Structure 1
Amino acid sequence: MFRKIYFLLPVYNESKSIHDLLLNIDAFSQTISPSVESIVIDDCSKDDSKKWIQKAKNNLKNITLTEIFHTENQGLRGALNSGFAHLSNQVSHDTAVITMDGDNTHNPYLVREMIERLEQGADMAIASRYCPQSRISGLPKHRIFLSQGARLLYKIFWRIPGVKDYTCLFRAHSGELLKKFYKCTPAPYLEEKSFACTTELLAKLNKAAPTIVEVPMILKYGNKFSASNVQLGRTILSSLQILTRKA
């Protein structure tokens, strides 16, 4: 049984989406036993994200909110590095860490099943778009095509047991796995500048030979208020580079 669950939420120009996500996490937290802390890393947003974070903070009933604000944009890599650095002295055998997008496209209620899989012995549970029961709505067809292509390439080159979805950030990690990660990975933990850092993170965690499972996810892209921050060209190039070398 986990004592505490941390949500790591990178944010860049997410506007009202981060507000809604925080309230959803707060509502979910009232249905489980562990205490919940959400860590928001605002990567120097240029929109009104900060206002919406504050508005959510004023209406939270059950969770602790920790805010980290970057004074310059560092990309997803920098946001994740800041979040993991913040947690480096807090994770333990009875804690779990959830990473997820800050745009409210990931359903926090799925975390219940992910945590159950950790309690059954898995080290990581991935909310996967490629399980038989998974569904995707509101995502442009070209993005689905590129995602499927990336999945096939990662499967061919990496073949990590238990993994079909290599790029989704929605993951649950046991504290024990992260303790091993911190022990063998010096800060700053991630180097890839694009969204490919999500696969770099997976590869570095895989060095600990974890047991990884997947749970089906329903991805509702229509919940996102702002335009996507993914730079497809840079992400594709970085993905091809990381595919052909060890992370």
Structure 2
Amino acid sequence: MALKKLSIIIPAYNEGRTIHLILDKVKAVSLLNDITKEVIIVNDCSTDNTEQAIESYISSNPELNIQYFKHDINKGKGAAIHTGIQKATGEYLVVQDADLEYDPEEYNDLLKPIIRGFADVVFGSRFMGGNPHRVLFFWHTIGNKFLTTLSNMYSNLNLTDMETCYKMFNTQMIQSLSLQEKRFGFEPEVTAKISRIPNVRIYEVGISYYGRTYAEGKKIGWKDGFRAIYCILKYGLFKAK
């Protein structure tokens, strides 16, 4: 299948301070093979000026194909991603956080195995080395690696970073899944379910990571870690639909 358009899903909750910066980065990226960009922003009922910032950006940058949707109540990051997946019209899609932790310049790194005909899904790993990685929380890193190992045990994959935001999917494949998790449980659920698609080809490439501290707006916490374990067991061990 020829890849002509990439859908970029941006879930946003109280990102009014940075949403224009990440959109500038997405706009600046020139994708390989003249692939076009479809930007799908899903505002998960933000309580700050996120909506005004998005609307202002859209009016000032009509050349960027931005589709804007919003939830009337806060449902969670996973729910915002679900909405974006449903609305995507590109042959492939990728999830992009609205903060500045991940660099859109690396879309092309994720695209290469797909364009070359090797991959249906590409994970961007923060732990493969060779790319800038902000030094932050030791236990957070240990937690990520533990969750990845636990996930791998049940998916029979050898991923190094299951919890990464950067996952690029064949759109038809991910739209065929029944996804349930509304918050950060999206990552282990989608990993478990995508791994069970017959003959799926999953690749991993190294990416940079410009992490935020909690003072800078990072939202994931220890409760989400326990939810991730629950989701790994639910969708991995017990193979819940």
TM-score between the two structures when normalised by the length of structure 1? 0.84
Match of 1:137 among 131, 134, 138: 134
| Structure 1 Cα separation of the partners of residues 231 and 22 of structure 2 | 31
| Structure 1 Cα separation of the partners of residues 34 and 69 of structure 2 | 26
The answer to whether 1:230 aligns with 2:220 is yes
| Structure 1 Cα separation of the partners of residues 56 and 213 of structure 2 | 18
Mapping of residues 79-158 of structure 1, within 5 Å: 79-87=80-88, 90-91=89-90, 95-121=91-117, 122-158=119-155
Pick which of 67-76 and 27-36 moved more.
Answer: 27-36
1:214 is matched with 204
The answer to whether 1:52 aligns with 2:53 is yes
> Once the 2 structures are TM-superposed, how far is the Cα of residue 243 of structure 1 from its aligned partner?
2.2
Deviation by residue 1:106-133 (Cα, 9 ceiling, x = unmatched): 1111111211110122111111012132
> Once the 2 structures are TM-superposed, how far is the Cα of residue 4 of structure 1 from its aligned partner?
0.9
Q: Answer yes or no: is the 8 Å Cα contact 2:79–2:183 preserved in 1.
A: no
5+ residue gaps in structure 2? none
Q: Answer yes or no: is the 8 Å Cα contact 1:103–1:225 preserved in 2.
A: no
| Structure 1 Cα separation of the partners of residues 31 and 232 of structure 2 | 41
1:171 is matched with 167
Q: Which amino acid aligns with 1:147?
A: N
Match of 2:156 among 159, 179, 192: 159
**What SS is found at the alignment partner of 1:5?**
strand
5+ residue gaps in structure 1? none
| Structure 1 Cα separation of the partners of residues 161 and 172 of structure 2 | 23
The answer to whether 1:243 aligns with 2:227 is no
Deviation by residue 1:211-239 (Cα, 9 ceiling, x = unmatched): 11111111012599941121321x12222
Mapping of residues 28-39 of structure 1, within 5 Å: 28-29=29-30, 33-39=34-40
Q: Which amino acid aligns with 1:165?
A: D
Pick which of 220-229 and 49-58 moved more.
Answer: 220-229
| Structure 1 Cα separation of the partners of residues 156 and 51 of structure 2 | 40
Q: Report the number of matched residues.
A: 233
| Structure 1 Cα separation of the partners of residues 47 and 168 of structure 2 | 29
**Structure-2 change in CA distance of 1:225 and 1:83 (3 Å):** farther
| Structure 2 Cα separation of the partners of residues 39 and 197 of structure 1 | 18
Deviation by residue 1:112-159 (Cα, 9 ceiling, x = unmatched): 121111012211111101213244205333322221222222233332
| Structure 1 Cα separation of the partners of residues 61 and 33 of structure 2 | 16
> Once the 2 structures are TM-superposed, how far is the Cα of residue 182 of structure 1 from its aligned partner?
3.2
| Structure 2 Cα separation of the partners of residues 139 and 196 of structure 1 | 22
| Structure 1 Cα separation of the partners of residues 28 and 125 of structure 2 | 23
Q: Answer yes or no: is the 8 Å Cα contact 1:128–1:134 preserved in 2.
A: no
**What SS is found at the alignment partner of 1:8?**
strand
Q: Answer yes or no: is the 8 Å Cα contact 1:129–1:165 preserved in 2.
A: yes
Alignment root-mean-square deviation, CA: 2.4
**What SS is found at the alignment partner of 1:16?**
coil
Q: Which amino acid aligns with 1:104?
A: L
**Structure-2 change in CA distance of 1:143 and 1:160 (3 Å):** same
Higher relative CO (CA 8 A, sep ≥ 6), structure 1 or 2? 1
Pick which of 215-224 and 165-174 moved more.
Answer: 215-224
Pick which of 62-71 and 46-55 moved more.
Answer: 46-55
